[in-house]
Chains A and B, each alone.
Chain A
């Protein structure tokens, strides 16, 4: 089932920064980011609704990651 409550948008510019991609994978407590094997980061669709809204990803990549509450719109 697709995510119903949370969407996470990652700016394409993040993908050029392998260290930042790695950091996103590390900071998320509910595995919403995964390494794609080529130094880039991908989001895990089935984990999106587990997002705790902790903002750690936003703090890691200010202005480059957005966590959107689909229920707030």
Chain B
């Protein structure tokens, strides 16, 4: 779940990261008052869970209270990528001599956390990586051993930062790593970190994403930040399809059959098993397929639950066929899922033999599962067919796009 900038800055503040003076307001009069209190020129920033605020006109500068009022009124009316701001962050405007970038995230390939640091902050970090790789460092570290500030120092020094900047940035990067671990973040980023003309260093903008599953662990923190349980913090509001799938999952505690994200394709996916969902989704895309959804099924859901999810997916007008694919399963039973998807297809008014492009779930109770599929004429494969090949066969059955 993503945090608004003003919330991310509260987390930074708890870890003593220096920040500009600021105030969150929800109306234009509040912005005028905040600008007056802060004194001098201010920057006003739309609080939306979206990038591209500057380009969209969601960041404005004001010399005083009058201009701040006008700017806030404009920002509050502005939707960015379909999102309405929850407020405007009014911050003192400072003169920046140098901008830096720091982020902590997981490197999936290295299977370790990584600090990404650059002395070219304020711009797209992918652009820095591509055109100025010498200005970017990647420093991996252990998620198991205690973190040492020396690692943060190495990350900063790797791009040639020395002296006071090195000392001050090291403590900011170390704080960022602690935030990353303490709050189960998937991303903790400050961009830019600014060195002001008086030499002080402050975090000017922050982006933080917390593992959605960690919400319960950090319920107290979220309460302190004023994040209600109902606020799911997705990049866009959930679609009716996604809401219905969440209801299916919540209605029955047995296993998982949900976590659905809607896409604009025509191949419905019922996928899962230990990271299998992501692999299979990618495999469908790599084969030229267009998924209608991502979802997760596993942990031995009941037949009724698997059937309800299947029925829901089959009922989407855009879904031409469905592909039921998982990695090799151990605690989820093949026969139970087979019963569920066949039942769901029939309940939705479709012939499973026609609607199911492929069923590829090998594992426990597969003999019974395959007997069921055979009886209903469903095309199924065992583990001798790879997940990628199964995805390719499903896509091939979709015919011309």
Contacts and interface: CB of A to CB of B under 8 A. Distances in A.
B339 interface: yes
Interface stretch (B116-124, B236-244, B368-376): B368-376
B166 interface: no
Given A1-B343, A1-B347, A4-B339, A50 B302 contact: yes
Interface residues of A, number: 11
A13 interface: no
A62 to B, nearest CB: 22
B347 A69 contact: no
A48 B182 CA distance: 46
The interface residues of chain A, by DSSP majority, are classed as: loop
Given A4-B343, A5-B339, A71-B375, A50 B368 contact: no
The interface residues of chain B, by DSSP majority, are classed as: helix
A72 B333 CA distance: 17
6 contacts: A1-B346, A1-B347, A5-B303, A30-B302, A49-B303, A53-B368
Interface in B200-239: none
Contacts of B361: none
Minimum-distance CB pairs A-B, first 4: A71-B372, A71-B375, A49-B303, A5-B339
Interface string A41-73: 000000001101100000000000000010110
B342 interface: yes
Interface in B360-393: 368, 371-372, 375
B342 A72 contact: no
B371 A50 contact: no
Interface string B334-347: 01100100110011
Interface of A: 1, 4-5, 30, 49-50, 52-53, 69, 71-72
Contact of A49 (B333, B339, B371, B375): B339
Nearest to A49: B303
A50 B342 contact: no
B371 A71 contact: yes
B304 interface: yes
A1 B336 CA distance: 17
Interface size of B as a range = 10 to 19
A48 to B, nearest CB: 10
Contacts of A4: 339, 342-343, 346
Nearest to B375: A71
A52 B337 CA distance: 12
Interface string B315-358: 00000000000000000010110010011001100000000000
Contacts of A69: 368, 371
Contacts of A1: 343, 346-347
Nearest to B339: A5
Nearest to A46: B304
Contacts of A53: 335, 368
Interface string B169-199: 0000000000000000000000000000000
Contacts of A71: 368, 371-372, 375
A70 to B, nearest CB: 9
B372 A49 contact: no
B343 A49 contact: yes
A71 B371 CA distance: 7
A44 B41 CA distance: 72
B76 to A, nearest CB: 51
B371 A72 contact: yes
A50 B301 CA distance: 10
Contacts of B371: 69, 71-72
A47 to B, nearest CB: 9
A7 B10 CA distance: 60
Contact of A50 (B304, B347, B372): B304
Interface string B83-111: 00000000000000000000000000000
